[in-house]
Amino acid sequence: MHQFQTGLGLYFRLILSFDSAGLREQRIASLHSCSPKVCIVGGGPAGFYTAQHLIKARQDVEVDIYERLPVPFGLVRFGVAPDHPEVKNVINTFTQTAKHTRCSFYGNVNVGKDVSVEELQRAYHAVVLSYGAEGNRSIGVPGEELTGVYSAKDFVGWYNGLPSCRELSPDLSCETAVILGQGNVALDVARVLLSPLDILKKTDITQPALEALTGSQVRRVLIVGRRGPMQVACTIKELREMVNLPDTRPEMVVSDFEGVTEALKDLPRPRKRLTELLLKTALETPGEKEQERRNKASRTWGFRFFRSPVEVLADPERSRTAGVRLAVNKLEGSGERARAVLTGEVEDVTCGLVISSIGYKSLPIDPSVPFDSSKAIVPNTMGRVQQASGLYCSGWLKTGPTGVIATTMNNSFDTARSLLEDMDSGTVDVSAAKSGSHIISSLLEERGVKPVTFSDWEKIDNVEMRRGEAIGKPREKLLTVEEMLRVARTVTEDKNVISY
């Protein structure tokens, strides 16, 4: 026995029929390769950043990313405004991750419907939920269901080509649009509504949206918030873009800014710079050149502060929105924690378009996953899902739907660190081999689900870029899942597809 165990290697061990349990385990392990296998649900920034960190930290980790749509990148593709292409550069980083040998992308797989989280947990050592926030907070006022009222999430999805928002067909035949909410998404919507078409037509905004905006009669956009200038949730970059938007002029209510100048000196730098720009735009008498520019502008935009919606008013036939009733607030307290309190006064604003930009919201996708409905997140501690072992979360699902890509990046790295710690400590047992995608692929095949691989996505990517090139845009997005799948399934360079 001794002579076989030294120097003669595995071959002889395999041949010997009286191998012990230990030797049998070794043989099985070498066949299945005992690398930790992690499954990530959601192919947006959170999913990709979590994958990136895991792959970099351990040379043996294999990561599979499952995404419901045939196309990856989540809000980077469907949320970032078309005129912010630099923000989308992060796609290059995600592409590197997806093409890594230890990473696989499986698009067109609906976790919760095509495969359950429990099945994923059985197949993988750990599952990270990174599916973000696909719902939105409702305003909660009468008239919300009238034609002409849309959530910013849907409006943004519409102009960015999200398949589920394709039929939105927003009516842009009114003069005034009211946006509820004063965050960056609200400003994105305002900017897209008022941008000169010359600018928009060179972006990756969808062609139907471009056509609708070409025929748009919207000339005035009011961005309404419950609290005051010092509580706006947008950031200075987006505010500057509004201030500098060609062919537009700002229209603010001077009295909204009472007391703001005095409060400036105590503000932290980011809030201070933002407030200074707001003040300047609202109060300062513009120089001659700027005044001339404003006089010639054909479109206006402005913030309206201390206003909460209480009703969306209907036109006489109750067929569509004709205006919005706003309650007037006053502030109690100051700074970030100031609260809006009703004064009893109301004010009606005529408008034909109401876009509510008051927040996205995560939804539960699988009953086996704990979900906190009041906060709309998966309850967790540092990314470890509470009362569930081997289950983690990252991105907006973990912390709530606020934060830019950089925030999500840090958030996802933190979750990856928690998982890595757990693998090191044995809390997640990686000694037992798991079959990962092998078993999931079989399950999906049985159920008639055919995943889209990353190289399938690249076919879609190429078709979109070629279509865009023909009309001077970076890409012309495919607008339906059916189209995406058709292109994904092409085997060779199909001429018909490319000259679509």
Partner 1 sequence: MSRRQRCFPIGRFRPCDQNRIMAAAAAVRSSMGLTLRLSRVIPDCSTCPLYKSKSCVNSVANLQRRSSFDSFRTINRHLQTSIGLYHSDEGSSNAEDPEDVVNVVYIDRSGQRIPVKAKVGDNVLYLAHKHGIDLEGACEASLACSTCHVYVSAAHFDKLPEPAEREDDMLDMAPMLQENSRLGCQIILTPELDGIELTLPKVTRNFYVDGHVPKPH
Mask: binding to partner 1, 318-357, rule CB under 8 A, as x and -? ------------------x---------------------
Q: Per CB under 8 A, does 290 bind partner 1?
A: no
Residue type, 164: S
Q: Which of positions 361-420 make contact with partner 1 (CB under 8 A)?
A: 375, 377, 379-382, 398-407, 409-411, 413-414
**To 10 degrees, the CA torsion angle through 281, 283, 287, 290?**
40
Least distance (Å) from partner 1 to the CB of residue 439?
Answer: 27
Which of residues 398 and 434 has its CB atom nearest to partner 1 in the complex? 398
Q: Per CB under 8 A, does 50 bind partner 1?
A: no
Tell me the window of 252-260, 279-287, 321-329, 472-480 that interacts with partner 1 (CB under 8 A).
472-480
Tell me the window of 78-86, 209-217, 297-305, 311-319 that interacts with partner 1 (CB under 8 A).
78-86
Query: What DSSP string describes 427-449?
Result: SS--SS---THHHHHHHHHHTT-
Whether residue 75 is annotated as binding a ligand: the answer is yes
Tracing tokens 């967790």 back to the chain, one arrives at: 380
Provide CB contacts within 8 A for 250, sequence distance 6+. Answer: 242, 243, 281, 282, 294, 300, 301, 302
- When binding is defined by CB under 8 A, the residue of 3, 92, 285, 492 that contacts partner 1 is 92
Given CA atoms 159, 165, 171, 176 in this order, what sign does their dihedral have? negative
Angle between helices 184-194 and 152-159 (to 10 degrees): 50
Given CA atoms 259, 260, 261, 263 in this order, what sign does their dihedral have? positive
Q: Per CB under 8 A, does 466 bind partner 1?
A: yes
Interface with partner 1 (CB under 8 A), residue total 62
178 and 139 Cβ atoms separated by less than 8 Å: no
Q: Per CB under 8 A, does 85 bind partner 1?
A: yes
Tell me the window of 31-39, 148-156, 179-187, 440-448 that interacts with partner 1 (CB under 8 A).
179-187
Tell me the window of 122-130, 190-198, 468-476, 491-499 that interacts with partner 1 (CB under 8 A).
468-476
* Measured CA angle at 49 (ends 426, 109), to 5 deg: 90
End-to-end CA, the chain: 69
Mask: binding to partner 1, 130-169, rule CB under 8 A, as x and -? ----------------------------------------
Least distance (Å) from partner 1 to the CB of residue 473?
Answer: 7
Whether residue 345 is annotated as binding a ligand: the answer is no
Residue 90's nearest CA partner among 103, 100, 77 is 77
Q: Per CB under 8 A, does 60 bind partner 1?
A: no
Whether residue 31 is annotated as binding a ligand: the answer is no
Q: How far is CA 294 from CA 142, 241, 248, 298, 392, in A?
A: 37, 15, 7, 9, 52
- H helix or E strand, kind and range, residue 327: strand 321-332
248 and 294 Cβ atoms separated by less than 8 Å: no
* Helical residues (DSSP H) of 134-263, grouped into ranges: 152-159, 184-194, 197-200, 207-214, 236-243, 260-263
Which of residues 85 and 367 has its CB atom nearest to partner 1 in the complex? 85
Whether residue 405 is annotated as binding a ligand: the answer is yes
Q: Which residues bind partner 1 (CB under 8 A)?
A: 55-56, 59, 84-87, 89-90, 92-93, 95-97, 99-101, 183-185, 202-203, 233-237, 240, 269-270, 273-274, 336, 375, 377, 379-382, 398-407, 409-411, 413-414, 462, 465-466, 468-469, 472-474
Binding residues for FAD: 46, 67, 75, 111, 396, 403-405
Would you list which residues are annotated within the binding site for NADP(+)? 182-185, 226-227, 238, 403
